[in-house]
Structure 1
Amino acid sequence: MPYPSTKPPFRADHVGSLLRPKPLQEARAAWKTGSLPHDALREVEDRYIIAAIARQEDIGLRAATDGEYRRAYWHYDFVAGLNGVELYEPEQKIQFKGNVPPLGHALRVNGRIGWSKPVMLDTYRFLASHVRSAVPKQTIPSPSVVHFRGGRQAIDRTTYPSLDGFFADLGEAYHKAVGAFGAAGCRYLQIDEVNIAYLCDPEQIAALKARGEHVDNLLGIYAAMLNRAIAGKPDGMTISMHLCRGNFRSTWVASGGYEPVAEVLFNQIDADAYFMEYDTDRAGGFEPLRFVPRGPKIVVLGLMTSKTGVLESKDDLKRRIDDAARYLPLEQLALSPQCGFASTEEGNTLTEDQQWAKLERCVAVAQEVWGEV
């Protein structure tokens, strides 16, 4: 059954983050050094977020984000706002593939996890108050972010002698967060879940085992946390999941097709839609889409790369959509870039003009393939 065109995700959609305009980058740098007050930074952010919303609407996108312009990271800014979670600078930093500096911060749990502060609710309300025609879309990181990189050694043993309590509290905090966004009027919420995609990579599994993590049921644990979070949504809210294999200054972390996680991902997690990285061979083929149940669940094909400015041809995109439709009916498919354009404030190695050209191409192809955006 086709999904209603009034309900997200839309035939042409996008993951969320946008390249920061240079004046915004300069303002954030000045704020970090203490030479620009936070109120002044907020004014700059507001101005460029309003402009980004208008640009998304003008090119025909039916969902708009704030570009994540108020964040330094796609994930840390949100989860560091939870009770018991601390952002810090570790001695051993996360290194992406390629010649880029390592990620500068990490997370650790130093107390009981909970949701008592309105993390990013004000940013959602600002977004919602400035859309004209688009549906405001809020993005948050998955709860698995708090566990995957640091694992047992980054979680205070006095607070959590057993990880069962940690996972339960984390799922409950997210349940409350989803409910809070719903109460604020959010009807399109995306959970960025990169770590389930990392579980498709044998190297990532080996690294988890090497540091002593129990990985046998990790996918099931993450699925249960996600379902507890999703259970907090009100009627009428669409929750999508975004899966990718790392995105930092146009580099990546993991490889591997979705086959090892597909059955759980599509049939045991209660998401309405899935934004799936498919811009390179590192993500494997479309065969795992056969596990998607026939009906209202949607897969948004991330066929356009956000890592370079090379503009994909319409013919190539249509051919790959046809390939995917061999495993999942066309009415259950949509199109987007494979990830955001700036998962961190530094952004990927393409220009703003190239970014907008890709989003315009996404809209044009969706119109030609499905007859709607």
Structure 2
Amino acid sequence: MTTIPFRWDQVGSLLRPEALKNAREQFKQGHISKEALTKVEDEEIIKIIEKQKEIGLSAVTDGEFRRRWWHLDFIAGLKGITVYDFETKAFGITTEAQGTFVSGKLGFNQEHPFLEHFKFTKEQAGDVLAKQTIPGPNMIYLDSFILSKQYHEHPAYEKREDFIQDLITTYQEAIQGFYDAGCRYLQLDDTSWGGLFDERFRGMIQQNGYSPDELIQEFGDITEAVLAKKPADLAVTFHFCKGNFQSHWLYDGSYDLIAERLLSITEFDGFFLEFDDERSGSFEPMKHIKNQRLVLGLVTTKTPELESKELLKKRIQEAAQYVPLEQLCLSPQCGFSSTHEGNKVSEADQWAKLRLVVETAKEVWPND
């Protein structure tokens, strides 16, 4: 199997076309049926897959076109989860949002809609590898359990250990479910690790009776347990960014606190980590990596300005001081549309940045 992650790769989400946005709004207003919305989704996903092939990506996604949120749609489809609406200012803007909390025994739904969604993507991808993205398990642990006011008011578990075991089993079954659906490239998107080094979130975690430093170890333990039963020919990668909502972010801080534990998870085939600005800190914490690949998220998805190829090559060489060049890859730092609204970039900007990733990586690693 070709080494995954690829030298030129992508995180997953893509800007929603106007036709899809319009159809989603029409469905929300009750003017079209679910079937009509699905038809538009299918048509736009077919187009976006062809576009990804055209620019030379080695793995294609459905752009997350069927999702409202990069994470919540998957989590909402699990057993024992309740979704609620609220208003947030967390990203520096006031906006409507949704959250989840654990309201019953957690479990994987064998009829989870994402399984059929993946089968459609795989079929349309043809002879190109289809990549599936889902939120990592610690998203549920942090947001729907540890920091959830609703959960603490009505706890569904007597023992935290029982919840953690159910969380692990849920994800083991999810991984197997995607594998059985034909998935061979799965990515766990898990921004929750940022809460373990961001000072404001560390304070919130402590106020809820947890130690953020102890959670660094526990997040790693949970992730390793989740991956313990993954099929040998299934590549699984990890993606982290500090939040991505309409070009805003959530967490501040560097990788120093989490790098050693995170990069010791050898069941991952690679890590997608953002390094698009000074908030990311230096590459030095990456020295803890084992034999996995490190995908450098050097091309930002938050602003339209196109990075220079020369600067990207320079930064790749800087990273190579800590991680061997043969273990490095290149991608955008995040998706372009982690939510339905998308970042403040145009579709032309998006494709220019993805082409830049492909072209630069081919020059840096000409033999791949």
State the one-letter code of the partner of 2:286: L
Instruction: State the Cα distance separating 1:272 from its structure 2 match.
Output: 1.2
From 329, 334, 340, the counterpart of 2:329: 334
RMSD: 1.5
Asked if 2 retains the 8 angstrom alpha-carbon contact of 1:273 and 1:298, the reply is yes
Q: What is the aligned partner in structure 2 of residue 134 from structure 1?
A: 128
From 101, 118, 139, the counterpart of 2:111: 118
Q: Does 1:154 align with 2:147?
A: no
- Structure 2 CA distance for partners of 1:333 and 1:177, relative to 1, 3 Å: same
Q: What is the aligned partner in structure 2 of residue 177 from structure 1?
A: 174
SS at match of 1:105: strand
Task: Give the Cα–Cα distance (whole angstroms) in 1 for the partners of residues 313 and 213 of structure 2.
Answer: 38
Asked if 2 retains the 8 angstrom alpha-carbon contact of 1:176 and 1:229, the reply is no
Q: What is the aligned partner in structure 2 of residue 49 from structure 1?
A: 45
Relative to the length of structure 2, the TM-score reads 0.95
- Structure 2 CA distance for partners of 1:247 and 1:142, relative to 1, 3 Å: same
SS at match of 1:46: helix
Question: After superposition, where does 1:184-263 map in structure 2 within 5 Å?
Answer: 184-263=181-260
State the one-letter code of the partner of 1:147: Y
Asked if 2 retains the 8 angstrom alpha-carbon contact of 1:86 and 1:109, the reply is yes
Asked if 2 retains the 8 angstrom alpha-carbon contact of 1:96 and 1:251, the reply is no
Task: Give the Cα–Cα distance (whole angstroms) in 1 for the partners of residues 98 and 232 of structure 2.
Answer: 37
**Cα deviation 1:157-176 (Å, max 9, x = unaligned):** 55312211111111110010
Asked if 2 retains the 8 angstrom alpha-carbon contact of 1:95 and 1:101, the reply is yes
Instruction: State the Cα distance separating 1:38 from its structure 2 match.
Output: 0.5
Asked if 2 retains the 8 angstrom alpha-carbon contact of 1:86 and 1:110, the reply is yes
**Cα deviation 1:198-221 (Å, max 9, x = unaligned):** 312222211221343343421222
Instruction: State the Cα distance separating 1:145 from its structure 2 match.
Output: 1.3
State the one-letter code of the partner of 1:262: A
Length, aligned pairs only: 364
SS at match of 2:46: helix
Task: Give the Cα–Cα distance (whole angstroms) in 2 for the partners of residues 36 and 290 of structure 1.
Answer: 53
Q: What is the aligned partner in structure 2 of residue 63 from structure 1?
A: 59
Query: Is there any run of 5+ residues in structure 1 with no aligned partner, and where?
Result: none
Q: What is the aligned partner in structure 2 of residue 96 from structure 1?
A: 90
Task: Give the Cα–Cα distance (whole angstroms) in 1 for the partners of residues 316 and 227 of structure 2.
Answer: 29
Q: What is the aligned partner in structure 2 of residue 13 from structure 1?
A: 9
Q: What is the aligned partner in structure 1 of residue 355 from structure 2?
A: 360
> Greater share of helix residues, 1 or 2?
2
Task: Give the Cα–Cα distance (whole angstroms) in 1 for the partners of residues 108 and 144 of structure 2.
Answer: 21
Task: Give the Cα–Cα distance (whole angstroms) in 1 for the partners of residues 111 and 298 of structure 2.
Answer: 34
Deviates more, 1:338-347 or 1:161-170: 161-170
State the one-letter code of the partner of 1:56: Q
State the one-letter code of the partner of 1:69: F
- Structure 2 CA distance for partners of 1:102 and 1:232, relative to 1, 3 Å: farther
Instruction: State the Cα distance separating 1:268 from its structure 2 match.
Output: 3.7
**Cα deviation 1:316-335 (Å, max 9, x = unaligned):** 10000000000000000000
Asked if 2 retains the 8 angstrom alpha-carbon contact of 1:49 and 1:69, the reply is yes
Instruction: State the Cα distance separating 1:243 from its structure 2 match.
Output: 0.6
Deviates more, 1:146-155 or 1:14-23: 146-155
Instruction: State the Cα distance separating 1:108 from its structure 2 match.
Output: 1.1
Deviates more, 1:134-143 or 1:204-213: 204-213
Q: What is the aligned partner in structure 2 of residue 370 from structure 1?
A: 365
Task: Give the Cα–Cα distance (whole angstroms) in 2 for the partners of residues 174 and 275 of structure 1.
Answer: 20
From 25, 30, 54, the counterpart of 2:26: 30
Instruction: State the Cα distance separating 1:269 from its structure 2 match.
Output: 5.4
Instruction: State the Cα distance separating 1:94 from its structure 2 match.
Output: 3.8
State the one-letter code of the partner of 2:339: T
SS at match of 2:257: coil
SS at match of 1:113: strand
- Structure 2 CA distance for partners of 1:174 and 1:266, relative to 1, 3 Å: same
Asked if 2 retains the 8 angstrom alpha-carbon contact of 1:138 and 1:190, the reply is yes
